[in-house]
Structure 1
Amino acid sequence: MPKLPRVAVIIPAYNEENVIGNCIESLLRQTYENFCAHIIDDQSTDTTQQIIRRYAEAYPNKIKLQFFGKLGPGKARNRVATEVAADIYAFTDADCEVTPRWLEELIRGIDFEGVVSCGGPQLAHPTSTDFQQKLERFFSLTSPLIDFYQNKTDISETRHNPLCNVAYRSEVFRSLKGFREDLFPGEDVEIDLRIKQRGHRIHYNPRAIVFHHRPESIAQFKKVMRAYGRAQGKLFRESGPRRTIQYIGIIASLFTFGIIIASLLLQNLGLLVAALLIVAGFYFIRPNSESLLSILLNSLEWFNGFLIGLFTNKSPPPGMNIGTKHDVKT
Structure 2
Amino acid sequence: MEQARVCVLIPTLRNAQQLDVVLQSLNNQDWDGQLDIACVGPTGDDGEAIAIKHSARWIDDEGSRNRADACNIGIKAIDCDILLFTDDDVIPPANWAGKLIRWFDRDEVGGIGGPNFAPDEDSFSSKAADVAFCARWVTAGTRYGKVPPGELVEIDHNPGCNSAYRKHVLDEVKGFEAGCIGAEDVVMDRKILDAGYRLWFDPTAIMPHRRRKPVKPYMQQLRNYGYVRTLANARWPALKAWSHSAIALFPVLTILGIATFLWGLSQGGIDWSDPLNSPEMGASRIAAHTTASLAIAYIIICWLGAMFGASPHRGFATIIISPIMIFMAHWAYGTGVLKGMKQIYLGEGAAAGLGIQIDDKSRD
**Structure 1 length normalisation: TM-score?**
0.78
Distance (whole Å) between structure 1 residues aligned to residue 3 and residue 204 of structure 2: 19
Question: Which of 39, 59, 70 is the equivalent residue of 1:66?
Answer: 59
Specify which of 198, 212, 215 is matched with residue 215 of structure 1.
212
Runs (5+) with no aligned partner, structure 2:
258-317, 344-348
In structure 1, the residue matched to 2:183 is 186
CA distance 1:140–1:73, change in 2 (3 Å)? same
Does structure 2 retain, via aligned residues, the 8 Å contact 1:131–1:217?
yes
In 2: Cα distance, 1:108 partner to 1:254 partner = 47
Residue pairs, 1:1-330, within 5 angstroms: 3-32=2-31, 33-42=33-42, 47-56=46-55, 63-71=56-64, 72-141=66-135, 142-148=138-144, 149-240=146-237, 242-249=240-247, 291-299=321-329, 300-312=331-343, 313=349, 315=353, 317-319=355-357, 322=359, 327-328=361-362
Shift in alpha-carbon separation, 1:136–1:250, aligned structure 2, 3 A = closer
2: CA distance between counterparts of 1:89 and 1:302? 31
Amino acid at match of 2:362: V
Instruction: Please tell me whether the aligned partners of residues 236 and 310 of structure 1 are also in contact (alpha carbons under 8 angstroms).
Output: no
Displacement, 1:144? 3.9
8 Å Cα contact 1:14/1:43 also seen in 2: no
> Could you say what secondary structure the match of 1:65 adopts?
strand
Deviation at 1:297, TM superposition (A): 3.0
Change (3 A) 1:116 1:104: same
Q: Distance in 1 between matches of 2:23 and 2:355?
A: 27
* Contact kept? 2:5, 2:80, Cα under 8 Å: yes
Structure 1 partner of 2:283: none
Query: 3-state SS of the aligned residue for 2:110?
Result: strand
Contact 2:116 2:209 in 1 (8 A): yes
CA distance in 1, matches of 2:120, 2:354: 31
Change (3 A) 1:117 1:182: same
CA deviations over 1:86-106 (Å, ceiling 9, x no partner): 111110000011111212111
Query: 1:165 Cα shift?
Result: 0.4
In the alignment, is the contact (CA less than 8 A) between 2:69 and 2:180 conserved in 1? no
Task: Call closer, same or farther: CA 1:298–1:252 in 2, change over 3 Å.
Answer: closer
Cα deviation code 1:270-314 (max 9, x no counterpart): xxxxxxxxxxxxxxxxxxxx9544423322111222122234236
| Aligned residue identity for 1:111 | D
Per-residue CA distance 1:89-148 (angstroms, 9 max, x = gap): 110000011111212111223332322000011111111111011111101114443221
Q: Where does the alignment leave 5 or more consecutive residues of structure 1 unmatched?
A: 57-62, 260-289
> Does structure 1 conserve the Cα–Cα contact (< 8 Å) formed by 2:182 and 2:229?
no
- In structure 2, distance between residues paired with 1:190 and 1:55: 32
**Amino acid of the structure 2 residue aligned with 1:189:** V
Q: Distance in 2 between the 1:94 and 1:217 partners?
A: 20
Q: Closer, same or farther in 2 for the Cα pair 1:34/1:317, shift >3 Å?
A: farther
Deviation at 1:53, TM superposition (A): 2.1
The percent of aligned pairs where both chains have the same amino acid is 21
RMSD: 2.9
Q: Is the 8 A contact 2:248 2:335 kept in 1?
A: no
One-letter code of the match for 1:232?
A: R
- Please say which structure displays the higher CA radius of gyration: 2
- Contact 1:70-1:318 at 8 Å conserved across structures: no
